A and B are shown apart, each in its own frame.
Chain A
Amino acid sequence: MDQADVDLRNLTYGHLRKVGRAPTAVEVARASGSSVDDVRAGWRRLHNAHALVLNQETAELRMLNPFSAAPSSYRVQAEGRWWYGNCAWDAFGILGALHTDGRLEASCPDCGEAVAIEVRGGRPDDTSFLFHCLVPASKWWNDIVFT
């Protein structure tokens, strides 16, 4: 990954941090002074390097891990906003990326009952829940959306 792609990646993440949602290619092109095609080509290289994930149907952003560009069932309240995580791991990862405390809201995939966990100082206030990872680490990126 060359410096130009790292800069594009950081600009993209910076936009998300600033406005609370993933940017469009048009917005990043405007901010960087480059063309939409250049942004899309850079995002494709970053996608191939697993530095972000594109939506296969639209070529817009799907994941800026740990953040989800699309609404998901893992919502995180932090820094006065609601964010979406790609999964339970990423939901707590949002607090790691923001270096802050926060609250996760989700539901048990089996019974649908609400899950709410506050994290303060790196500690969850409810330790009764279990995390299950179905796919082994060697295959996470075979289909990261499924993982």
Chain B
Amino acid sequence: MNLFRSEEHIARWLGGREPGATIAVEKLVELGLAWYADRLDRDWRPHTRDENQAILDRLDLVGDFWRLP
């Protein structure tokens, strides 16, 4: 899960491997802030699978690649 300068850099780094998913850094910031917002809360409890999926869905990270098990 890395940050790259461009699509060209991603392709070179993959070196022929099957690509995963690429998103803009603005979206990644939103994802990071939402995914971990309660991680240090005193009343933290584990997220359910559906709660985590809802975060992805809300950010329009949808489709098979973003489908949690």
Contacts and interface: CB of A to CB of B under 8 A. Distances in A.
Interface in B1-32: 1-7, 9-10, 12-14, 17, 19-32
A131 B5 contact: no
Contact of A96 (B7, B20, B34): B34
A10 B1 contact: no
Interface in A77-102: 86-99
A88 B46 contact: no
Nearest to B28: A131
Contacts of B23: 130-131, 133
Contacts of B37: 96-97, 99
Contacts of B45: 6
Residue of B7, B25, B56, B69 ringed by the most chain A CB atoms within 10 A: B25
A110 B14 CA distance: 9
A124 B32 contact: no
A13 B44 CA distance: 11
Interface string A1-36: 100001001100110010000000000000000000
B26 A127 contact: yes
Given A49-B46, A51-B46, A129-B5, A119 B29 contact: yes
A130 B67 contact: no
Counting from the closest, the 3 A-B pairs by CB-CB distance are A92-B32, A87-B1, A93-B36
Interface of A: 1, 6, 9-10, 13-14, 17, 49, 51, 65-66, 86-99, 106, 108-111, 113, 115, 117, 119, 122-124, 126-139, 141, 147
Given A133-B20, A137-B66, 13 more contacts: A6-B44, A66-B35, A87-B1, A88-B2, A90-B36, A95-B29, A96-B32, A96-B34, A119-B29, A129-B3, A131-B27, A132-B20, A132-B22
15 contacts: A9-B44, A17-B40, A87-B1, A88-B28, A89-B1, A89-B28, A115-B5, A129-B3, A132-B1, A132-B19, A132-B20, A133-B22, A134-B1, A136-B65, A137-B56
